[in-house]
């Protein structure tokens, strides 16, 4: 495995990934530290100053209900990062567990789980997410759950692939013959050796999760008012985009930059794990 | 033959599960279709009578069996909204979606493949970085934001392109094939054909952006992988010219995974069509499905979701076959 | 699969014939393009459920016996009926039909067609059943005279007859087309149905033989554009001539109005409506905080009605004081004073009396989806927070909210009532009759024999003056029960290109006729 030196080398050699990390760092600082200095409520109405242009009172202007756009951007960013991380964490935990069980158990259980994953992957993910979110009822938590479910089969597949390829390795077979408990073998060998591809998958899934949840929010199936959430904020301010473009474009840009940061890092990681891609003739 | 049969056999249980998932999902969505259908002022008795008529109170397994039996007859049920056969309504809207997605795929290949080749041949150079950044924007931008920006810039401020719709409002002829551009050409109406094409540009660009960017990234990566392999190095060492190595060996081999990606991502693109069709007033099945969810039009939700899944399953089958035909190793591996 | 085959077959033969058809009749100066947010549910009067887009098209393709007279829309005039008489007991209506009116298929309008159409709607339409079931019999007195007898007096019946459900269809076309009639509607109206493409457009053509004279347009095209900002861009670019009914849709039109006011190519028509939007209580509840009238009154006093109208709507909505809008003929002017005023201090006092400490009460507030409802809910939430009530907003899709409503599983909800015919009965009976409590769109009033009797009496009284007095009293009695906070009545707003002439907006229900509209 690569050590700390490897990481430093990775950052030096991969400018795209470093750019992603810097971008993500800036976003993190903005949304975590920003609200401490910019102490404006994202939900306080100021109906007389609706759709004010950016200026000294409201740095990024106000929205259609007179709420501060910058405050909503910063707080919405927190929501977006929490959404991305928890959706992927849930999808990862459930998907990987199921995938490893499937790969290690084999037989009809493996067959059934993989067919189920195939079936779920047969829906365009937004279609499945819309249907699930509608079924659960509109709320941010339900939208997150819906998106997590659509991501699970991908993790399950990668994890199963790792489990299958690792479980035929001599040292795992040896461990089984030695009578070590299956659970421990799974965790120790399969997970430890297969973690690389899963990590890449997870980073890329972060971007996808944020995009999907924002799309659900845009369609009214996500966060409920007055919560600040970037996708929903684009949607509710669409009507005003001609007279006050900043109101819808600011949260839109937020989504774009955050997803881009995760994709940059994911790409870099993938490249790092697979040195062939760095080759030039 | 064995390969083809095997792939089809493998698809059957998946399709069965798809049916079950669709059926369960639709049942899980809250809202009583009978209440929706009857509107305000309906009494409990009327609602109960209608539920009975719609067979909504039967046990779920029985409803499922009836549903599958009806599907086998080509009966997708009747739309709760207007009483029309769902299959008919879907077929009316399918050409619009197919026209849009095929066009987007075409554009994506046209843009994505050269993009990948340029990046791979100049890997880690400034042009590579710039184009990779552009394609990253392509995969990272929410479809609704891109649609909004394009609409604002090209339709509103510049006025170069129509804002929405499939044809000019003055074109009101009944469809012949359902494909607007083709219909106009069949009618020999050049102006209408140009108008239909102009209407395609923006929604097509939104859908193609994601696909082109994805394709470009894959082509770049797989070309780099191949260029790093021994046989290429050997070829180069033996004195083969660089362009020959790149275009004859690397690109040909790199296109193989690109076909897979193109197939799978274009089915995935149908999901993006929901947003695109809604924003651009494109009368396809994506928008139809989303409106059906809003109206709790259960047979339509069931029908459209199923069609989406079917397209996906068929596309991946087709991709497998193409793959198998191009590369005999795959045939063995997949069995 | 037969459909696809039918569609594909002409592909080979048609191109040359169709090219000719396209060359004629696409004169932009005589084609009016109307943008609507969704496809018409149906063009069939028999099954119409007062859905706005289909209803309007029906009224342009068909005629009714009577219609509301523009521009006031407060009196009825004969349309297919030349004249009519109503018996003194208010149960028998006799109509004499106009001579020489022809359906689009060339058959003549007669009394039998009227009887056929109304009986057809009664049999087919669960939505209008409650009203149409009042019909005891329809008699063809002579080819020109038809008599309708009701089971009990129902003065609002005349306005029902002006509704799209009562439009007169061609019996010959129904016999010929069967269940295809809905896809090929045939009436007597100023426009003839020409074609329809799902989710794309509906095309009507002028009826040169229309009995009131040919329309000034050659063609009327309804374009379906779901996205509000897209509709606006299209209007500005001249892709559409009219955006309809912007006020009652999901978007707040104030900003668009402001922007479009400066655009000399666009004119804006604003008309007060009879639509009511309210925060309603689940009045059927016997437990919980909402069952306490002090809590209900506190909430009614907590809302800054004028702030809502100005701040959120930029005065694109009017104030509503009670169960009827101020422009209704039955509106009781005293209600203006009786209606609860914005008074947070009083609200806090009332809550304290009811034993509710500030911050201890949390209510889920259910409402529909869309930016408009979200904005109203957010505003109400801030108002209620001021008096110490926490509100969590739940924006639910229409059918899910309806299901919640009929099940009675809520405390407060934001909701709307749009009368589907022009009579106070449309608001009062469906809204407050206790026997209808469990149906959709009511205030879920608990059993109350005295109030029910009053409502039914007002519904059936023939004398206009007596009826008015009954509705005056009803408005006071209903308001005294604190059924909900009446929030606002959206104006009907139509944006049109400045060269459009002759457009007159009907206030209730909001349906436009394009017979007299022209383009300069």
DSSP secondary structure string, A48-112? Answer: GGTTPPSSSSSTT-B-TTS-BHHHHHHHHHHHHHHHHHHHHHHHHHHHHHHHHHHHHH-HHHHHH
The radius of gyration of chain B's CA atoms, rounded to the nearest angstrom, is 24
Nearest CA in chain C to B294: C397
Pair of tokens at residue C22: 């396209």
The percentage of chain B sitting over the pLDDT mark of 90, rounded to a whole number, equals 12
C-alpha distance from A228 to closest chain C C-alpha (Å): 12
What CATH class does A3-37+59-280 carry? mainly alpha
Neighbours of A131 (CB within 10 A): 27
> Which residues on chain B are in Cβ contact (under 8 Å) with A16?
129, 132-133
pLDDT tens digits for range B45-76? 777 888 888 778 888 888 889 888 988 898 88
CATH of domain B95-296: 1.10.3720.10
C-alpha distance from C393 to closest chain A C-alpha (Å): 6
Asked if C123 is an interface residue toward chain B (Cβ–Cβ < 8 A), one would say no
C323 with C428: CB under 8 angstroms? Answer: yes
pTM of the prediction?
A: 0.82
C76 with C162: CB under 8 angstroms? Answer: yes
Neighbours of chain C (3+ CB pairs under 8 A): A, B
Residue B1 banded pLDDT, cuts 50, 70, 90: low
Contacts of B335 (CB under 8 A, 6+ apart): B2, B3, B6
Looking at residue A267, what is its pLDDT?
Answer: 83
Looking at residue B335, what is its pLDDT?
Answer: 38
What residues 337-356 of chain C have any CB closer than 8 A to a CB of chain B? Answer: none
C21, C403, C430 ranked by CB distance to B30: nearest: C403
Distance CA C98, CA C110 (A): 9
Asked if B173 is an interface residue toward chain C (Cβ–Cβ < 8 A), one would say yes
B interface test, pick of C17, C440, C497 with most B CB neighbours within 10 Å: C440
> Which residues on chain C are in Cβ contact (under 8 Å) with A220?
369-370, 395, 397
CA angle at residue B313 from B311 to B317, to 5 degrees?
115
Asked if C310 is an interface residue toward chain A (Cβ–Cβ < 8 A), one would say yes
Asked if A9 is an interface residue toward chain B (Cβ–Cβ < 8 A), one would say no
> Which residues on chain B are in Cβ contact (under 8 Å) with C230?
151, 163-164, 279-281
Asked if C227 is an interface residue toward chain A (Cβ–Cβ < 8 A), one would say yes
Spell out the domains of chain C, with CATH numbers in brackets: 16-249+494-519 (3.40.190.10), 276-490 (3.10.105.10)
B interface test, pick of C8, C197, C223, C366 with most B CB neighbours within 10 Å: C197
A16, A207, A279 ranked by CB distance to B227: nearest: A279
What residues 2-41 of chain B have any CB closer than 8 A to a CB of chain A? Answer: 13-15, 17-18, 21, 25-26, 28-30
Looking at residue C13, what is its pLDDT?
Answer: 35
Asked if A125 is an interface residue toward chain B (Cβ–Cβ < 8 A), one would say yes
Residue B39 banded pLDDT, cuts 50, 70, 90: low
**Cβ within 8 Å, pair B227-A242:** no
Instruction: Categorise residue C69: left if φ over 0, alpha if ψ from -120 to 50, beta otherwise.
Output: beta
B132, B225, B271 ranked by CB distance to A127: nearest: B271
C-alpha distance from C267 to closest chain A C-alpha (Å): 18
**Cβ within 8 Å, pair A130-B274:** yes
C24 with B189: CB under 8 angstroms? Answer: no
**Cβ within 8 Å, pair C221-B169:** yes
> Which residues on chain C are in Cβ contact (under 8 Å) with A224?
392-395
What residues 213-242 of chain B have any CB closer than 8 A to a CB of chain A? Answer: 217, 221, 224-225, 227-229, 232-233, 236, 242
C-alpha distance from B263 to closest chain A C-alpha (Å): 12
B145, B275, B309 ranked by CB distance to A255: nearest: B145
Distance CA B291, CA B286 (A): 9
**Cβ within 8 Å, pair B142-A115:** no
- Cα–Cα distances (Å) from C22 to B44, B174, C16, C26, in that order, read 51, 10, 10, 7
Looking at residue C109, what is its pLDDT?
Answer: 96
Distance CA B279, CA B163 (A): 10
**Cβ within 8 Å, pair B129-A132:** no
Pair of tokens at residue B180: 């607007």
Looking at residue A2, what is its pLDDT?
Answer: 46
Looking at residue C23, what is its pLDDT?
Answer: 38
Distance CA B290, CA C464 (A): 47
> Which residues on chain B are in Cβ contact (under 8 Å) with C47?
83
Alpha carbon B225 to chain centroid, angstroms? 29
The percentage of chain B sitting over the pLDDT mark of 70, rounded to a whole number, equals 92
Nearest CA in chain C to A46: C311
Looking at residue C450, what is its pLDDT?
Answer: 94
Nearest CA in chain A to C246: A239
> Which residues on chain A are in Cβ contact (under 8 Å) with B288?
none
Q: What is the mean pLDDT of residues B108-135?
A: 88
- Which parts of chain A have pLDDT scores under 50? 1-3, 278-281
One pLDDT digit (tens) per residue for chain C, 520 residues: 344 333 433 333 333 333 333 434 468 889 999 999 888 988 999 988 888 899 999 999 999 999 998 888 888 999 999 999 999 999 999 999 999 999 999 999 999 999 999 999 999 887 788 889 999 999 999 999 999 999 999 999 999 999 999 999 999 999 999 888 999 999 999 999 999 988 889 999 999 999 999 999 999 999 988 777 778 888 988 889 999 865 445 566 777 787 788 899 999 988 888 899 999 999 999 999 999 999 999 999 999 999 999 888 888 899 999 999 998 999 999 999 999 999 999 999 999 999 999 999 999 999 988 778 888 999 999 999 999 999 998 888 777 788 788 888 899 999 988 888 889 998 999 899 998 888 777 899 999 999 999 999 999 998 889 999 999 999 999 999 999 999 999 888 889 999 999 998 887 666 788 999 999 8
> Which residues on chain B are in Cβ contact (under 8 Å) with C403?
30-32, 35
- Cα–Cα distances (Å) from B196 to A35, B165, B199, C18, in that order, read 49, 9, 5, 17
Number of Cα atoms under 13 Å in the Cβ half of residue B120:
30
Looking at residue C397, what is its pLDDT?
Answer: 77
Kindly compute the dihedral angle of the four CA atoms of residues C46, C52, C56, C62, in this order, to the nearest 10 degrees: 10
Looking at residue B170, what is its pLDDT?
Answer: 67
The radius of gyration of chain A's CA atoms, rounded to the nearest angstrom, is 22
C-alpha distance from A226 to closest chain C C-alpha (Å): 6
C-alpha distance from B103 to closest chain A C-alpha (Å): 19
Residue B13 has pLDDT above 90, yes or no: no
Distance CA C45, CA C127 (A): 12
Asked if A173 is an interface residue toward chain B (Cβ–Cβ < 8 A), one would say no
C-alpha distance from B55 to closest chain C C-alpha (Å): 18
**Cβ within 8 Å, pair A239-C229:** yes
Asked if A22 is an interface residue toward chain B (Cβ–Cβ < 8 A), one would say no
Looking at residue C233, what is its pLDDT?
Answer: 80
Q: Where are the domains of chain B?
A: 34-75, 95-296
| Nearest by Cα to C231 from C242, C216, C220, C219 | C242
Which H helix or E strand runs over B204? helix B190-227
> Which residues on chain B are in Cβ contact (under 8 Å) with C10?
176
C interface test, pick of A41, A42, A44, A47 with most C CB neighbours within 10 Å: A47
What residues 88-127 of chain B have any CB closer than 8 A to a CB of chain A? Answer: 123-124
Which H helix or E strand runs over C97? strand C92-97
ipTM value greater than 0.90: no
């Amino acid at each position: 495995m690569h050590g700390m030196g490897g990481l430093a080398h990775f950052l030096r050699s991969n400018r795209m990934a470093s750019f992603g990390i810097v971008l993500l760092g800036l976003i993190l600082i903005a949304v975590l530290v920003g609200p401490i200095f910019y102490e404006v409520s994202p939900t306080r109405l100021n109906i007389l100053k609706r759709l004010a242009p950016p200026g000294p009172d409201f740095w990024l202007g106000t929205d259609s209900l007179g709420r501060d756009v910058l405050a909503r951007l910063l707080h919405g960013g927190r929501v977006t990062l929490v959404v991305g991380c928890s959706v992927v964490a849930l999808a990862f935990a459930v998907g990987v567990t199921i995938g490893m069980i499937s790969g290690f158990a084999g037989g009809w259980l493996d067959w059934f789980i993989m067919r189920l994953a195939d079936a779920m992957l047969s829906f365009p993910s937004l279609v499945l997410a819309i249907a699930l979110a509608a079924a659960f009822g509109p709320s941010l938590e339900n939208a997150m759950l819906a998106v997590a479910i659509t991501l699970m089969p991908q993790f399950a597949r990668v994890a199963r692939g790792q489990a299958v390829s690792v479980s035929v390795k001599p040292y795992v077979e040896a461990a089984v013959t030695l009578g070590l408990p299956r659970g421990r073998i799974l965790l120790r060998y399969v997970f430890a050796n297969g973690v690389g591809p899963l990590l890449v998958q997870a980073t890329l899934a972060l971007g996808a999760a944020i995009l999907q949840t924002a799309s659900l929010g845009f369609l009214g199936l996500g966060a409920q008012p007055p919560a600040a959430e970037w996708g929903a904020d684009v949607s509710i301010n669409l009507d005003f985009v001609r007279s006050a473009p900043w109101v819808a474009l600011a949260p839109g840009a937020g989504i774009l930059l955050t997803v881009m940061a995760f994709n940059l890092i994911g790409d870099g990681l993938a490249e790092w794990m697979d040195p062939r891609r760095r080759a030039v003739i | 033959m064995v390969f083809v049969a095997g792939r089809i056999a493998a698809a059957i249980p998946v399709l069965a599960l798809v049916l079950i998932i669709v059926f369960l999902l639709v049942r899980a969505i809250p809202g009583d279709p009978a209440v929706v259908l009857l509107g305000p002022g309906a009494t409990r008795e009327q609602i109960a009578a209608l539920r009975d008529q719609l067979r909504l109170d039967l046990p779920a397994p029985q409803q499922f069996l009836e549903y599958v039996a009806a599907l086998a007859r080509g009966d997708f049920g009747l739309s709760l909204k207007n009483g029309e056969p769902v299959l008919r309504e879907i077929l009316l809207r399918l050409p619009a979606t197919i026209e849009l997605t095929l066009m987007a795929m075409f554009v994506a290949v046209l843009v994505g493949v050269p993009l990948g080749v340029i990046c791979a041949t100049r890997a880690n150079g400034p042009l590579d970085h710039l184009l990779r950044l552009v394609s990253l924007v392509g995969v990272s931008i929410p479809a609704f934001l891109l649609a909004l920006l394009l609409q604002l810039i090209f339709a509103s401020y510049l006025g170069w392109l129509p804002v929405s719709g499939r044809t000019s409002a003055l074109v009101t002829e009944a469809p012949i094939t359902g494909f607007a551009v083709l219909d106009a050409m069949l009618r020999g109406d050049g102006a209408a054909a140009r108008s239909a094409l102009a209407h395609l540009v923006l929604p097509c660009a939104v859908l193609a952006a994601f696909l082109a960017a994805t394709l470009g990234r894959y082509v770049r990566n797989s070309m780099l992988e191949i260029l790093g392999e021994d046989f290429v190095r050997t070829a180069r060492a033996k004195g083969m010219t660089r362009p020959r190595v790149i275009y004859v060996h690397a690109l040909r081999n790199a296109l193989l995974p690109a076909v897979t990606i193109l197939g799978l991502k274009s089915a995935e693109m149908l999901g993006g069509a929901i947003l695109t069709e809604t924003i651009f007033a494109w009368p396809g099945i994506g928008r139809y499905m989303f409106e059906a969810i809003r109206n709790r039009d259960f047979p339509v939700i069931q029908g459209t979701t199923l069609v989406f899944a079917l397209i996906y399953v068929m596309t991946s089958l087709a991709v497998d076959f193409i793959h198998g035909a191009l590369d005999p190793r795959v045939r063995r591996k997949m069995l | 699969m037969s459909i696809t085959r039918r569609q594909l077959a002409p592909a080979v033969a048609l191109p040359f014939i169709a090219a000719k058809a396209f060359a004629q009749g696409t004169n932009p100066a005589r084609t009016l393009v109307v943008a609507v947010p969704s496809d018409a549910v149906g063009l069939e009067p028999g099954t119409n459920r007062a859905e706005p887009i289909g209803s309007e098209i029906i009224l342009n393709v068909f005629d009714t016996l009577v219609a509301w007279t523009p521009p006031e829309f407060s009196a009825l005039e004969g349309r297919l009926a030349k004249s009519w008489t109503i018996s003194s007991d208010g149960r028998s209506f006799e109509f004499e039909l106009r001579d020489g009116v022809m359906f689009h298929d060339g058959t003549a309008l007669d009394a039998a067609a009227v009887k056929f159409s109304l009986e057809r709607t009664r049999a087919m339409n669960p939505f209008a059943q409650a009203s149409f079931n009042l019909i005891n019999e329809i008699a063809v007195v002579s080819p020109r005279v038809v008599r309708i007898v009701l089971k009990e007096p129902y003065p609002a019946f005349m306005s029902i007859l002006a509704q799209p459900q009562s439009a007169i269809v061609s019996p010959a076309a129904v016999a010929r087309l069967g269940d295809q009639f809905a896809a090929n509607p045939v009436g007597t109206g100023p426009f003839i149905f020409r074609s329809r493409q799902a989710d794309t457009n509906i095309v009507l053509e002028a009826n040169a033989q229309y009995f009131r004279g040919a329309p000034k347009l050659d063609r009327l095209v309804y374009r379906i554009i779901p996205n509000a900002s897209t509709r606006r861009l299209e209007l500005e670019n001249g892709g559409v001539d009219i955006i309809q009914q912007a006020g009652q849709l999901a978007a707040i039109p104030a900003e668009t109005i402001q922007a479009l006011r400066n655009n000399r190519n666009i004119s804006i028509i604003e008309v007060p409506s009879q639509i009511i939007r309210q925060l309603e209580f689940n009045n059927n509840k016997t437990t919980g905080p909402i069952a306490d009238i002090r809590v209900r009154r506190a909430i009614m006093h907590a809302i800054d009605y004028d702030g809502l109208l100005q701040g959120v709507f930029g005065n694109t909505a009017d104030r509503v004081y009670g169960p009827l809008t101020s422009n209704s003929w039955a509106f009781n002017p005293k209600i203006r004073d009786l209606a609860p005023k914005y008074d947070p201090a009083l609200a806090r006092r009332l809550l304290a009396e009811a034993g509710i400490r500030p911050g201890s009460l949390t209510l889920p507030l259910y409402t529909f989806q869309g930016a408009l409802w979200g904005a109203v809910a957010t505003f109400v939430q801030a108002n209620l927070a001021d008096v110490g009530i926490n509100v969590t907003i739940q924006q639910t899709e229409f059918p899910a909210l309806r299901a919640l409503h009929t099940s009675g599983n809520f405390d407060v909800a934001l909701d709307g009532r749009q009368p589907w015919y022009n009579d106070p009965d449309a608001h009062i009976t469906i809204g407050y009759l206790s026997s209808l409590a469990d149906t959709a769109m009511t205030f879920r009033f608990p059993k109350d024999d005295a109030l029910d009797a009053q409502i039914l009496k007002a519904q059936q009284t023939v004398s206009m003056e007596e009826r008015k007095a009954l509705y005056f009293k009803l408005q006071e009695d209903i308001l005294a029960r604190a059924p909900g906070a009446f929030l606002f009545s959206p104006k009907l707003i139509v944006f049109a290109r400045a060269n459009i002439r002759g457009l007159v907006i009907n206030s209730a229900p909001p349906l436009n006729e394009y017979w007299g509209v022209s383009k300069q």
